[in-house]
Structure 1
Amino acid sequence: MRTAMLALATGMVCLRGLPALPSLGWLMGMAAVASLLLMLRRWHCGLFLLGLCWACLHAHWATNDQLAPALDGQTLWLEGEVVGLPAVSGNTVRFELTDAWSRRAQLPSRLRLAWYGGPPVASGERWRLAVKLKRPRALVNPGGFDAQAWALAKGFGATGSVKAGERVRAARLAWRDGLRQRLLAVDSQQQGGTLAALLLGDGSGVSRQQWEVLQATGTVHLLVISGQHVGLLAGLVYGLVALLAKVGLWPARWPWLRCACALAFAAALSYGLLAGFQVPVRRACIMIGLVLMWRLRFRHLGVWWPLLLAFTLVLLVDPLVSLQPGFWLSFSAVAVLLLTFSGRLGGWRWWQAWTRAQCCVAVGLLPVMVALALPVSVSGPLVNLLAVPWISLVVLPVAMAGAVLLPVPWIGESLLWLAGGALCGLFHWLTWTAEWSPPWLPPGVSPEVWLVLAIGILLLLLPAGVPLRWLGVPMLGLLLFGPRQAPPVGQADIWVLDVGQGLAVLVRTAYHQVLYDTGPGLGEVDAGASVVVPSLVALGVRRLDAMIISHAHLDHSGGTGSVRRRLPVTQTLAGEPDALPAAWQAQPCKPGRSWEWDGVRFVLWRWPSAVPGNPASCVLWVEANGERLLLGGDIDASAERALLASGLPPQAHWLQAPHHGSKTSSSKPFLEAVQPHAALISRGHDNTFGHPHADVLARYQALGITPHDTAEAGALRIQLGTYAPVQRQRDQRRFWRDAAITP
């Protein structure tokens, strides 16, 4: 039975690795073969195919429910109901809309909308809105978060920005949103947002700085609804009924054991619904139900059976959940704990069990963190030794009691105020720890290295008496001392990252790394933290020998602060050093400066008479084995003429399209002098500037220059010095992404 269930779950999980979905005809054929195999009692193969068919069918439903391509970028009047918990960030309200309909078109069943400067929006309200709709789309880079897979797993068929709207109907049964508002109103040293996250699973009120602190200290699981919270509530309810029965206060005509199990499971389900019933909560409810069933029947289910059943049932309900990182982290953590504590001879003291549990989870989750390109908290095991009991035994019970007693004047607010104060003290300590021990981003590894790493960690988690257990240590060392990904001497690896409407280019030689621009940044959001740093770390970059900021505009320098905080930078050069923060210690880009690293030549240029802004961009040539790349930043036609008059040889095989392909750049004389065979365009999809301009594309076509566009192809890779064609990240097909488009 266990192996059959494992085969069914494996089939559903295989959906994650499919480059494209099989057609409905193929699925019908696979289902027929699966049925035949089941009739022939080939259970494992039949259930595997059946699980794969079920997952693919769900994926077809989700992809067919996305916005039609003809409506992409269109503004429509539509009507729908607000669901979930709307989030307010500055002047922006973000919320989800379901059951949306329009007279003009068929719409997806679920939309994710943003209303800049909009009025308050509450869950349960019905609105009539004018929305500019877009198909779900995400940046595609080596490493980092795949927002498009996340959107598909969440069921969002379109995103959009609201232009205008009116409320059609007031909220009905918006008790969850009402409780969230009461929690946010608790002003206990500004911890209302963290209380809402702790009790409701709503992280919209947690600031970016707080999330970074939680991530750095490995305590994110404490501020999201997890099995720990659900299990604690179920245990409290069960213990309360058992205590009342023991002291004789429970009615004799009601069997206390059945009532305790039923009430505990009802409490777990109620809390799960309150928290949005996410993956950890589903898993916890299933496992709690199995444990309570065992308690009633006094039957031993084993330690792995409940986990496997929960894993399979969660996938059966929603196979697309395997696209979410939280699914893998949640089940992997429980599996590590079961492996750590099951099958051991002898007992551990409570403090030994507690410390070993934290250390084993930290080590056991390493393969999952590496596979998902997530940061690893070095201080996590130590921090959780104190943070987990503080949250579980102090903050959470007081916060739960305060939420329940909110209708009672003063009592509920006072308890929530105390819980907020306890959270505030915890965050002060976590912030200090995060500054002392920042998170470690593991490098990307090949599948072979990852498999060896996983086997090594499995050996380390086995009991001490297992032979050859020590081999896990050198296997684990592959994560730190694995094969280098750098190019050979005389060649350079060029990555034009997909950062949206901006620019970030990594130039990597055998032993040196140069970053040219750092992507856009606006307020708390910047591409340096979300794209550049994760991509660099995934490529094995641990430091930067030089950072070149072409000019001070935010679409080129916005991510610099985040990059400098995460990676050591030896020197910073800039086209406009005086316009950048003094702490960056940027030096001016001097025309004609050149150097050579590992057989690769670098040459800088800047127009000495340039006015501030785009014309002042620092230009960089990179040459390897006679093959040249020209990075021009945002130079315009006037700067292009000055470059041609400088006397430096402008020829290059590859040209980064100046100013994202704007009509004010890429002049015909400049292109004729550079003579590139391809232009690399870094820009945002459907940007408001109209980049690249039609005249520039026509000029490229007339001169035989092939454009490669990050908005259509994702990140671009050039192996400079090999004269090989460009590699496009979207060519690595995934069924949830649009196919790579050849310009």
Structure 2
Amino acid sequence: MKGQGLPGSYTVRAGIAAFAGGVILLYCVGEIPPWPIPVIALIMGFFLARRRSVLLRRAGVLLFGLSTGLTWAAWMSSDRLATRLPHALEPGTHLVEGYRCSLVAPGAYHSLRFDFCVTRWPEAVPGHPIAARRLRLALYGAEPSLALPRQLRLKVRLKVPHGSVNPAGFRYETWLFRHGFDATGSVRDWSPQRVPCGLGCHYHAWREQVAGILAGAFGRLDSYPLIEALLMGERRLLSADDWTVFRKTGTSHLIAISGLHIGLVGVFVGGLVGGLLRRWPGGPGARWRRRLVFGASLGACAVYALLAGFTVPTQRALVMVAVSGLVYMRGRQSGYWTAWLAALALVLLLDPFAPLDGGFWLSFGAVAGLILIFSTRLRPPGRIGTLLLAQLGVMAGLLPILMVLGLPFSVTGWLVNLVAIPLMSFLLLPGMFLLVPLGLLVPGSQPVVDRLLDWGLGGFMTGLGFIADRSPEGLALPASLAGLVGGMVLVMLFPVRWWTRAGLLLAAAGLLCGQVTAFAGPGRAANDAVTVPELWIWDVGQGLAVTYRDGNKVLQYDTGPGSPAGYTAVKEALLPGFRSTGIRDLNWLMISHGDADHASGLDELLAHIPVERQGSGEPRRVEQRAGPGARGTFSPCRKGGWLGASWIDVWQDAGAGPGNAASCVLRIRRNGYAIILPGDITEEQEHRWLRSHPPLSGLRRIVVAPHHGSRTSSSPDWVRQLAPELVVFSAGYRHPYGHPAPEVRRRYRAVGARTVNTATSGAVHVRLENDAPSLHVERADAPFWIESPPDQ
């Protein structure tokens, strides 16, 4: 038995794991616990850990570690929430002084985007300081070549961190919290301003100087966006098409500077220093050689991490390199899991927000898969065998993690990476590290360096693009099935008998083929059936996307907005939402009219989801948005029909011109309910629709407000005659258009309607129960870092 005061190594590892579990537990629960709870648990764990009984001591260490991790994460999260911009400061403009703490990136709608670190709020009331320290800003209408000064005085319009909240898909608000942004906004005016420039300010100035030197020397090259991404971690110049290529080939991890890049630098520098030391006659002994190699390797990794912006992935990779180096210094070839646990705990100690980052789970999941595969082998399987085993082990380990995170698994990605990882590791990255300094420092070498860089990196992108054009879309599996398949593949890679390996391979292949056949083959599985008809009004910002389900039949009305930067509501909200709710095809797709906030992302939707029937109020205009393959596939808004047991009336103002007035209006009737989906019709079309569709008595009416609650719609007659029980506004949070208009909201409330706004409630889910509609809004169940703002 160990001494009473020092638990054994097993207990220490359990305590480290418990600390990591405590940090992660906070984000799983989604609530910051009252402070007495973790403090009492901390005290109890401390006293239990000092008991004589081994069982009690280990239980105490577990409780102490768990409560320490929970307390640490809760304290840091509370501190971060305390610096958010108060809602009271959202109206109007504000003056801020500070410095740019990122490079300037081109954005959508002719904007420049950058992060801004505030040093002073000139208009803050004495005694009531504003705590917001880091802002994410956009400057609209500026020339792309504008050289924005580093130290600035800005007039800004700000919003609290806010994003769409849907049942599944990317949550911008989580991303903002995870990266420490206290507000977002736009710049109304700017001027140079001298501000105190500390270490952080000088660091960002140094990075901008390096970026300027790189751009001056290599900015004219077609491959320059990739050069800047790989050398400095700046992906600002990569296009949406580039990211589509990386996603479809499963190579996004090669572009985001992380463990692969940091590790390569460490191995290269460590190998170089180790080789020199071995050739040094009478040099230091083995222990000091290890120390010098470790110091040089870690120093080189730290410099590269700083050059790459010291982002979260680089910090995480640096910690893992440091822990691996310590194991190397001790001269051990074992203790892989201890090193993995130590790195995990250290990352969470330095960055307790890491569990909100998908890269955290992918990084540690990949390393865990490699440890599982190689720690059980007495002899290495050779270079080719090592590469194959490593790639298969990582693929199997990451498959369930990708599915839990809602990320598609690239079907061809693991094969592509068999070539791409060695190519990047042993040719492209080392070549770039040598060629870029050569082109900068050696006169006359620039033309040759330029050709080599464009040939190597350009050829790499061309090859990936060729494969991406011929690759199927990413595979989405249930998390349980992904875990089962991944586990089978991992066991198959262990040193087991050949018939065991063959059986596991056949079983995994059978499960995957069965899943693909069920969801993509000719006899594909039908949609999951709902027992009660339901309506989803998705949170898509300033736009509209509505899904109606009756049994296993599905109607989609509009697809929401998109942007030139590559965002679409289809990709970020609808497709993830369909996967989470069991929708695999659409029986009816109706696009009200051709405006971008109602009809974006159609090409993505039609590429992923089969559609039986398509219609629109502006079919030709919508087909242009959907791409060449959709020509002639959308019928005019003329004929209604059945969807399951629901009858759908279809109407359009025959004399209306193009645009909002051409919206196709749907009325869905089912079980004593009437649901009205009016698109963006104006007051004139409302009157005409009411004349041809007089409200039927005895029906519970649910209305999606015309034109997002604009003043030009929801006329007094419309509101009075419909007298809806529930009205949903689909609008953007504090959008410049000001939807919904205050007088429109008052008008609906005056007739007893309940009003809900997706901007402040998130996605709205309505179930048409027999006695009354059941309403649920997504922000009601959101975790603590996603708040419910005041109703607009």
Length-normalised TM-score, structure 2: 0.86
The answer for the alignment partner of 2:154 in structure 1 is: 129
- Answer yes or no: is 1:68 the counterpart of 2:86: yes
1-structure distance, mates of 2:47, 2:527 = 47
The answer for the alignment partner of 1:706 in structure 2 is: 754
2-structure distance, mates of 1:259, 1:419 = 33
Task: Using the TM superposition, give the Cα deviation of residue 539 of structure 1 relative to its aligned residue in structure 2, in angstroms.
Answer: 2.7
The answer for the alignment partner of 2:539 in structure 1 is: 498
Q: 1:692 aligns with which of 732, 740, 747?
A: 740
1-structure distance, mates of 2:361, 2:347 = 12
The one-letter amino acid paired with 1:512 is K
Bigger mean CA deviation after superposition, 72-81 or 716-725: 716-725
Task: Using the TM superposition, give the Cα deviation of residue 741 of structure 1 relative to its aligned residue in structure 2, in angstroms.
Answer: 6.3
Change in 2 beyond 3 A, CA 1:182/1:663: same
Change in 2 beyond 3 A, CA 1:44/1:256: closer
Change in 2 beyond 3 A, CA 1:295/1:624: same
The one-letter amino acid paired with 2:462 is H
Q: CA offsets, 1:679-706, max 9 Å, x none?
A: 1110011122221122211221121111
2-structure distance, mates of 1:600, 1:436 = 40
The answer for the alignment partner of 1:730 in structure 2 is: 779
Q: 2:713 aligns with which of 665, 677, 680?
A: 665
Q: Is the 8 A contact 2:527 2:552 kept in 1?
A: no
Bigger mean CA deviation after superposition, 704-713 or 250-259: 250-259
- Answer yes or no: is 1:458 the counterpart of 2:487: yes
The answer for the alignment partner of 1:334 in structure 2 is: 367
2-structure distance, mates of 1:451, 1:167 = 56
Q: Is the 8 A contact 1:215 1:439 kept in 2?
A: no
Task: Using the TM superposition, give the Cα deviation of residue 323 of structure 1 relative to its aligned residue in structure 2, in angstroms.
Answer: 0.8
The answer for the alignment partner of 2:23 in structure 1 is: 12
Task: Using the TM superposition, give the Cα deviation of residue 165 of structure 1 relative to its aligned residue in structure 2, in angstroms.
Answer: 0.8
Change in 2 beyond 3 A, CA 1:184/1:267: same
The one-letter amino acid paired with 2:159 is K
Q: 1:558 aligns with which of 600, 607, 623?
A: 600
Change in 2 beyond 3 A, CA 1:452/1:429: closer
Change in 2 beyond 3 A, CA 1:385/1:188: farther
Q: Is the 8 A contact 2:43 2:64 kept in 1?
A: no
Bigger mean CA deviation after superposition, 298-307 or 456-465: 456-465
Change in 2 beyond 3 A, CA 1:442/1:73: farther
Q: Is the 8 A contact 1:663 1:693 kept in 2?
A: yes
The one-letter amino acid paired with 1:79 is E
SS of the residue corresponding to residue 371 of structure 2 reads helix
Number of aligned residues = 736
Once the two structures are superposed, the pairs formed by residues 111-510 of structure 1 within 5 Å of their partners are 111-118=135-142, 125-169=150-194, 172=202, 174-185=205-216, 186-187=218-219, 189-248=221-280, 256-344=289-377, 347-405=380-438, 406-411=440-445, 414-415=448-449, 417-440=451-474, 442=476, 450-451=479-480, 453-455=482-484, 457-462=486-491, 463=494, 465=496, 470=504, 486-488=528-530, 491-510=532-551
2-structure distance, mates of 1:182, 1:540 = 51
The answer for the alignment partner of 1:48 in structure 2 is: 66
Task: Using the TM superposition, give the Cα deviation of residue 252 of structure 1 relative to its aligned residue in structure 2, in angstroms.
Answer: 7.1
Q: Is the 8 A contact 2:39 2:67 kept in 1?
A: no
2-structure distance, mates of 1:57, 1:327 = 20
Bigger mean CA deviation after superposition, 626-635 or 646-655: 646-655
Change in 2 beyond 3 A, CA 1:79/1:11: same
Bigger mean CA deviation after superposition, 81-90 or 479-488: 479-488
2-structure distance, mates of 1:36, 1:412 = 67
SS of the residue corresponding to residue 734 of structure 2 reads coil
Structure 1: gaps of 5 or more residues: none
1-structure distance, mates of 2:598, 2:137 = 27
Q: Is the 8 A contact 1:652 1:675 kept in 2?
A: no
Task: Using the TM superposition, give the Cα deviation of residue 256 of structure 1 relative to its aligned residue in structure 2, in angstroms.
Answer: 4.4
1-structure distance, mates of 2:646, 2:606 = 25
Q: Is the 8 A contact 1:504 1:519 kept in 2?
A: yes
- Answer yes or no: is 1:108 the counterpart of 2:132: yes
Q: Is the 8 A contact 1:219 1:380 kept in 2?
A: yes
Q: CA offsets, 1:237-275, max 9 Å, x none?
A: 122223334455896799644322221121112112222
Task: Using the TM superposition, give the Cα deviation of residue 714 of structure 1 relative to its aligned residue in structure 2, in angstroms.
Answer: 0.4
1-structure distance, mates of 2:512, 2:647 = 37
The one-letter amino acid paired with 1:74 is G
SS of the residue corresponding to residue 103 of structure 1 reads coil
Once the two structures are superposed, the pairs formed by residues 573-588 of structure 1 within 5 Å of their partners are 573-582=615-624, 583=628, 584=630, 585-588=632-635
Q: What is the root-mean-square deviation of aligned Cα atoms in Å?
A: 3.0
SS of the residue corresponding to residue 580 of structure 1 reads helix
The answer for the alignment partner of 2:111 in structure 1 is: 92
SS of the residue corresponding to residue 374 of structure 1 reads coil
Q: Is the 8 A contact 1:404 1:412 kept in 2?
A: no
Q: 2:641 aligns with which of 591, 595, 608?
A: 595
Length-normalised TM-score, structure 1: 0.92
The one-letter amino acid paired with 2:104 is P
2-structure distance, mates of 1:414, 1:570 = 56
The answer for the alignment partner of 2:658 in structure 1 is: 612
Task: Using the TM superposition, give the Cα deviation of residue 210 of structure 1 relative to its aligned residue in structure 2, in angstroms.
Answer: 0.3
Q: Is the 8 A contact 1:149 1:324 kept in 2?
A: no
The one-letter amino acid paired with 2:773 is A
2-structure distance, mates of 1:123, 1:258 = 44
The one-letter amino acid paired with 1:101 is R
2-structure distance, mates of 1:428, 1:51 = 46
Change in 2 beyond 3 A, CA 1:311/1:485: farther
2-structure distance, mates of 1:57, 1:413 = 55
Q: CA offsets, 1:629-657, max 9 Å, x none?
A: 11110111211111122257666521111
Q: Is the 8 A contact 2:96 2:118 kept in 1?
A: no
SS of the residue corresponding to residue 250 of structure 2 reads coil
Bigger mean CA deviation after superposition, 233-242 or 30-39: 30-39
Change in 2 beyond 3 A, CA 1:172/1:315: closer
SS of the residue corresponding to residue 193 of structure 2 reads strand
Q: Is the 8 A contact 1:589 1:604 kept in 2?
A: no
The one-letter amino acid paired with 1:316 is L
2-structure distance, mates of 1:27, 1:497 = 37
The answer for the alignment partner of 1:644 in structure 2 is: 690
Task: Using the TM superposition, give the Cα deviation of residue 441 of structure 1 relative to its aligned residue in structure 2, in angstroms.
Answer: 5.3
1-structure distance, mates of 2:331, 2:426 = 29
Q: Is the 8 A contact 1:188 1:421 kept in 2?
A: no
Bigger mean CA deviation after superposition, 457-466 or 727-736: 457-466
2-structure distance, mates of 1:430, 1:92 = 30
2-structure distance, mates of 1:712, 1:93 = 27
2-structure distance, mates of 1:178, 1:570 = 56
Structure 2: gaps of 5 or more residues: 1-11, 52-56, 125-129, 520-524
Task: Using the TM superposition, give the Cα deviation of residue 301 of structure 1 relative to its aligned residue in structure 2, in angstroms.
Answer: 4.0
Task: Using the TM superposition, give the Cα deviation of residue 293 of structure 1 relative to its aligned residue in structure 2, in angstroms.
Answer: 3.1
Change in 2 beyond 3 A, CA 1:641/1:72: same
Q: Is the 8 A contact 2:403 2:482 kept in 1?
A: no
Q: Is the 8 A contact 1:184 1:205 kept in 2?
A: no
Q: Is the 8 A contact 1:122 1:177 kept in 2?
A: no
Q: CA offsets, 1:21-76, max 9 Å, x none?
A: 23445554454444444445311111101110011000001000111121123311
